[in-house]
Chains A and B, each alone.
Chain A
Amino acid sequence: MAKYLLLKHYRGAPAPVNDVPMEQWTPEELSAHVQYMRDFAARLEGTGELVDSQALSPEGTFVRYDGEGRPPVTDGPFAETKDLIAGWVVIDVETYERAIELAGELSAAPGAGGKPIHEWLEVRPFYAAQPTVTE
């Protein structure tokens, strides 16, 4: 098995096919979208492939160390920052092909007009456990 992160972006991914901002969807379309995400996670739990599913608020703060005895410096949010992560699903699947298949399903979540968003998702492999036998 291998774990993959399916990463959703608010900003920074190429534009989806059905590119209408969420705030312009109807309430029913929003509900249908949320239900699709829930069903997706429930289905993956049922197949024994779900590790985690989370959504993030778009508001964030940048923090960095500012030297001994000083409080951390905070800044942002930066409107110009390219990437803005919206959430993720972590899956544990038999093959890379299965990860791609599931990302494709997730990308078909309905948006405006009840039609699939065709959103671009990033698929990133996790580092695996170090195998014992290598020679």
Chain B
Amino acid sequence: MNDSLLRELVPAVIGVLVRRGADFAAAEDAVQDALVEAVRVWPDDPPRDLKAWLVTVAWRKFLDAARADTSRRHREVRVETEPVPGPGEAVDDTLRLYFLCAHPSLAPASAVALTLRAVGGLTTRQIARAYLVPEATMAQRISRAKRTVSGVRFNQPGDVATVLRVLYLVFNEGYSGDVDLAAEAIRLTRQLAAKTSDEEVAGLLALMLLHHARRTARTAPDGRLVPLAEQDRGLWDTRLIAEGVDVLQAALTRDRLGEFQAQAAIAALHADARTAEETDWVQIVEWYDELVRLTDSPVARLNRAVAVGEADGPRAGLAALAELDPALPRYTAAAAYLHERDGDPVTAARLYAEAARSASSLPERDHLTRQAARLNAQLRT
């Protein structure tokens, strides 16, 4: 049985249950229970219509749970035993579910966890492992998130921007367990892109594809980070790059620019260069200008300063950097890089060592320490 095919059905099945009158939290639980049964039963007895099977079993699980709950509370069963023919699927249930799980009332980590479970169909254990927390903690995070959105009407329109932020977080920030979060984020964004014509959804999908294409090249066999300029470009996945570029170009022609499209454009320009030297830094700086205009993000300004250093020389880069707050993450690392390019290895070595002390990940710390060590060894000879 194809696991991702099974999980693709999850949001639609939850949607059916909700339209039949189940509240979201109970529907979500019932579908998880149905999935567990599917995994047990399907290998020996695969149903012809997977979705219909899941709907039937999940609805039965929901009724069982509702009855048990009601008898505990000595109340009447409020739900009909026979499914009520709900209103037609006017707006896509899956889309509704994305909005609900990324509802602005949720903290980002809660929205991430709820999206991975209710839209992605992952188990609590899988999500807990991906974020290195105990299963009990993740279960609480999810059930709190469900309580938070319990008052939200399922058919309320949502804001696609909040959904994109959640999917971006799934792509960009997770450890590894038995689930490939980057691939899962791409799957969920692809599914979303198929249901909306929003240019930024396409922009985010393109961004993910273009970065995912470089995944193998980004890490050396010994686990070391390989900076973009030193990556073996033969390892880049040309199929993913081609898809990313296509998706991006289609979005850009509609002329409704947003931050993800701008970021994807920068990634596409990197992907387009056969060697690091051939990189079109002038165009990249222009895209960073757009990104700064769109987001006013200090991180975009910092990356812009580094790009300016490539386009117009390290002095220009250092001048752009000097206008920014030195407390920005990766400011010191960027300064170290630009000083080395400017022919000042003494300052660069000192700044790399300083940057290593404030790195936020272990591979980054090791990378920066190695840069400092490399320069110090050069300076000794």
List chain A positions with a Cβ less than 8 A from chain B: 1, 3, 44-52, 92, 94, 125, 127-135
When chains A and B are docked, how far (Å) is the Cα of A131 from the Cα of B211? 11
Q: Which of A45, A46, A129 contacts B174 (CB 8 A)?
A: A129
Q: B235-277 vs A: 1/0 string, CB under 8 Å?
A: 0000000000000000000000000000100110010000000
B211 and A1 within 8 A (CB): no
Task: Kindly state the separation between the CA atoms of A134 and B364 in the bound complex, as whole angstroms.
Answer: 11
How would you classify the secondary structure of chain A's contact residues: helix, strand, loop or mixed?
loop
In this assembly, does B374 line the interface, its C-beta being within 8 Å of a C-beta of chain A?
Answer: no
B interface vs A, CB < 8 Å? 107-110, 113, 131-134, 136-138, 140-142, 144, 171-175, 182, 207, 211-212, 215, 218, 225, 228, 263, 266-267, 270, 303, 306, 330, 359-365
Contact among A46, A52, A125, A132 with B211 in the assembled complex (CB-CB below 8 Å): A132
What's the Cα separation between A94 and B133 when bound, in Å?
Answer: 14
Whole-angstrom distance between the alpha carbons of A70 and B141 in the complex?
A: 49
Q: Which residues of B contact A132 (CB under 8 A)?
A: 171-172, 182, 211-212, 215, 218
How distant is B186 from chain A, measured CB to nearest CB, in Å? 11
Chain B residues near A44 (CB-CB < 8 A)? 137
Question: Is B132 in contact with A48, judged by CB distance below 8 angstroms?
Answer: no
A131 with B361: in contact, given A47-B144, A94-B109 (CB under 8 Å)? yes
Known contacts A92-B137, A129-B174, A132-B172; is A48 also within 8 Å of B110 by CB? yes
Cβ–Cβ contact B228 & A135, under 8 A: yes
Which residues on B sit within 8 Å (CB–CB) of A128? 173, 360-361
What residues of chain A lie closer than 8 Å to B172, measured between beta carbons?
Answer: 131-133
**A46–B140 touching, CB < 8 Å:** yes
> Are B137 and A50 within 8 A (Cβ)?
yes
Determine the residue in chain A with the shortest Cβ distance to B284.
Answer: A135
A–B pairs, 5, beta carbons within 8 Å: A44-B137, A92-B137, A125-B360, A130-B363, A133-B207
B133, B138, B175, B303: the one contacting A135 at CB < 8 Å is: B303
In angstroms, Cα B136 to Cα A44, docked, is: 11
CB–CB A133/B131 < 8 A: no
Chain A contacts for B171, CB-based, 8 A: 132-133
- Give the chain A neighbours of B175 by CB distance below 8 A: 129
Q: Which residue of B lies closest to A49 (CB)?
A: B137
> Are B173 and A129 in contact, CB atoms less than 8 angstroms apart?
yes
Note all chain B residues with C-beta closer than 8 A to A135. Answer: 228, 266-267, 270, 303, 306
Instruction: From known contacts A127-B365, A133-B211, A135-B303, infer whether A48 and B140 are also in contact, taking CB-CB under 8 Å.
Output: yes
